[in-house]
Structure 1
Amino acid sequence: MFVRIVKMGFQEEHVALFLENFEKVKQDIRNFAGNRLLELYCDKADPTLFFTYSYWETEADLETYRNSELFINTWAETKPLFKQKAEAWSVDKLVSLK
């Protein structure tokens, strides 16, 4: 399993629309084959900066999602709302303490 982290900065006037759109698709993303967790974070100092953390069983699962109609349509609605280019990382979790 690995974690996909995506950093997205939105134009201030589009934050509410992004959150509305995310609300509509979050369960579909979470229930996509291979997805084990989906989280959305907002930066405490900058309310236009968001991060998604998604846990995937395999890289192939993530690639299947990224080539799916769900991702393509979601990204088509999300990308025009950005104030800056999104950044993404795929990382392996090494330690998790609870």
Structure 2
Amino acid sequence: MFVRIVKMSFHSKHINEFLILFEEKKEFIRNSDGCQLLELYQDKTNQEIFFTYSYWENQSDLENYRNSSLFKSVWAETKTFFNDKPEAWSVDKKVSLQ
């Protein structure tokens, strides 16, 4: 399993639109093959910055999701709200807090 972290920065006027879109689509994303977890975080000091954390069984599951019509439609709409280029990392989880 690995974690995908995506940092996104939005124009303030589009934050509500993004949150509505995320609410509408989160369960579809969570139900994608190999997706174990999807969470959304908002930065405490800059309210325009958000992070998604998603856990995936393997790289091919993430790639299959990224090639899906679901991802393409969600990403096409989401990127119209950006005020900066998004950043993404795929990382291995090394320590569990449980």
What is the TM-score when the length of structure 1 is the normalising length?
A: 0.99
- How many residue pairs match? The answer is 98
Show the counterpart of 2:80: 80
Gapped regions of structure 2 (runs ≥ 5) = none
Identity of aligned residues (%): 61
Q: Secondary structure at the match of 1:94?
A: coil
| C-alpha deviation, 1:96, in angstroms | 1.3
Q: Deviations 1:44-73 (Å, cap 9, x if unpaired)?
A: 011110000000000000000000000000
Q: For residues 19-58 of structure 1, what are the structure 2 equivalents within 5 Å?
A: 19-58=19-58
Could you list the runs of 4 or more consecutive aligned residues of structure 1 that deviate by over 2 angstroms after TM superposition? none
Letter in 2 for 1:16: N
What is the TM-score when the length of structure 2 is the normalising length?
A: 0.99
| C-alpha deviation, 1:14, in angstroms | 0.3
| C-alpha deviation, 1:89, in angstroms | 0.1
Alignment RMSD, CA only? 0.5
